[in-house]
């Protein structure tokens, strides 16, 4: 993690039947990232995906196989319902000049802590054609990830009414690489059922920073307004603690993900939360990155080829490396964040030959998404003679051994 974003924006992720093991806390430290130092800790709850993959893994086996698609889903963010186990946290209005937090005891559901400031992940971000192969590998094309604009903070203090504030600094995220990861829905016989599911993906992304609500007018006010962040990670399981210290301010953020089908308050499976999911991540914006500009998209955004994260201000913005890569300095380098989002997941497709290498697919899984279940071969059809029965038994034993 160190110089990585671990999550921002949303993929309402990822049905992952995680099998419980001994919980492990993974800690990465960062030192002097634009003057800030600290750590990011992630407790994995003991969740493991297919073949035992975990927090440091982003593929199963040899990786995604497009010839073996088992499932396809999409995710749509919903905005906050203010039901969360995350502790309330004070939030400052960005550029307010206030010496004290303007929003004490702020509810953190679907909230983004960015430095001392707060933003809300709103409804409408879409993640389409999220493909899962039968081994449990995720693939999401960058053009299928579309993020809403971050320009408000919904302040909720206990039972008091929600107050929506227009933020001064606004952000527009977009993906600059495809996403990969793992999904544990392949470990349950009904990937559309009420089961414990969680998972993770990683991809490179960028976000444009704006002073005021003017995304159509270009970059304003921050020098290099495009922030490029490799290794962005999103998880729908586990607990985060981010500790950040720049010698003047000390920030501690805490957050817990909520898996698919799980009540956010109890942490238990709940039919009322079927295919609802929350996820989060935490990290620090890198000082800068070496990039290659691959192309300009029709909408004017840049398609970057991100190369290397640097941990210190070792180059000037615009410096060109021998291989042609250009050093891009992030205006918000060293800023800590924790991001949360709520979403609905919709399973759209299950392969007629089954969704998983590990378990057979229940017929109810197909009918629950409006598909016709494959018709099993009647048992009597196999009983055509003792020789054939013997061959069937042999082939079954071979299949089990594979």
Is residue 299 within 8 A of residue 1, CB to CB? The reply is: no
| Span 306-316, pLDDT tens digits | 665 544 455 77
DSSP 142: G
Determine the number of helices (DSSP H) and then strands (DSSP E) in the chain: 2, 24
pTM of the model: 0.83
Helix ranges (H only) for 228-372 are: 363-367
Is residue 78 within 8 A of residue 123, CB to CB? The reply is: yes
Residue-level pLDDT at 388 = 41
Q: Cα 382 to chain center, whole Å?
A: 46
Is residue 29 within 8 A of residue 12, CB to CB? The reply is: no
Q: What does each C-alpha distance from 340 to 62, 150, 236, 242, 322 come to in angstroms?
A: 31, 13, 10, 13, 39
Dihedral through CA 379, CA 384, CA 390, CA 392, nearest 10?
A: -50
Q: What does the angle CA 200 – CA 206 – CA 211 come to, to the nearest 5 degrees?
A: 130
Beta bridge partners of 170: 210
List, for the chain, all residue ranges whose pLDDT scores fall below the cut of 70: 1-20, 213-224, 295-314, 376-402
What whole-number distance in Å separates Cα of residue 106 and Cα of residue 239? 19
What whole-number distance in Å separates Cα of residue 65 and Cα of residue 227? 32
Residue labelled with tokens 């057979």: 360
Residue-level pLDDT at 314 = 58
| Span 98-129, pLDDT tens digits | 888 999 999 999 999 999 999 999 999 999 99
Q: Assign 380 to helix, strand or coil.
A: helix
Q: Which of 11, 12, 16, 39 is nearest to 245 (CA)?
A: 39
Q: What is the DSSP string of 43-98?
A: E-TTEE-GGG--TT---STT---GGGEEEEEEEEE----S--SSPPEEEBPTT---
212: left (phi over 0), alpha (psi -120 to 50) or beta: left
| Span 233-264, pLDDT tens digits | 999 999 999 999 999 999 999 999 998 999 99
What whole-number distance in Å separates Cα of residue 340 and Cα of residue 80? 9
């Amino acid at each position: 993690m160190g110089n990585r974003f671990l999550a921002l924006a949303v993929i309402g992720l990822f049905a992952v039947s995680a099998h419980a093991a001994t919980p492990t806390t993974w800690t990465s430290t960062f030192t002097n990232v634009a003057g800030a130092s600290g750590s990011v800790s992630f407790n994995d709850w003991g969740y493991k995906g297919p073949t035992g993959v975990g927090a440091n893994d982003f593929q199963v086996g040899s990786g995604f196989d497009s010839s073996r698609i088992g499932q396809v889903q999409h995710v749509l963010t919903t905005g906050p319902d203010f039901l969360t186990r995350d502790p309330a946290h004070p939030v400052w209005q960005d550029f307010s000049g206030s010496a004290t937090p303007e929003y004490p005891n702020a509810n953190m559901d679907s909230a983004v802590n960015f430095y001392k400031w707060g933003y809300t992940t709103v409804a409408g971000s879409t993640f389409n054609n999220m493909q899962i192969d039968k081994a449990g590998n995720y693939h999401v094309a960058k053009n299928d990830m579309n993020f809403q604009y971050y320009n408000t903070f919904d302040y909720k203090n206990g039972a008091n009414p929600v107050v929506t504030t227009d933020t001064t600094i606004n952000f527009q995220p977009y993906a600059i690489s495809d996403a990969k990861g793992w999904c544990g829905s392949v470990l349950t016989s009904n990937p559309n059922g009420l089961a414990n599911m969680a998972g993770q993906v990683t991809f490179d992304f960028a976000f444009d920073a704006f002073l005021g609500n003017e995304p159509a007018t270009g970059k304003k006010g921050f020098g290099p307004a495009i922030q490029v962040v490799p290794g962005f990670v999103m998880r729908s399981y586990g607990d985060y603690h981010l500790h950040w210290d720049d010698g003047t301010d000390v920030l501690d953020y805490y957050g817990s993900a909520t898996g698919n089908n799980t009540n956010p308050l109890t942490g238990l499976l709940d039919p009322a939360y079927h295919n609802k999911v929350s996820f989060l991540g935490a990290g620090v914006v890198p000082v800068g990155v070496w990039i290659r500009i691959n192309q300009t998209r029709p909408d004017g955004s840049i398609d970057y080829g991100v190369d290397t994260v640097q941990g210190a201000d070792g180059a000037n913005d615009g410096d060109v490396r021998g291989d042609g890569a250009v050093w891009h300095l992030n205006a918000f380098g060293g800023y800590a964040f924790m991001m949360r989002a709520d979403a609905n997941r919709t399973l759209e497709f299950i392969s007629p030959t089954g969704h998983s290498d590990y378990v057979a697919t229940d017929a109810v899984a197909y009918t629950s998404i409006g598909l016709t279940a494959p018709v099993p071969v009647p048992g009597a059809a196999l009983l055509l003679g003792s020789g054939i029965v013997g061959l069937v038994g042999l082939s079954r034993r071979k299949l089990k051994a594979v």
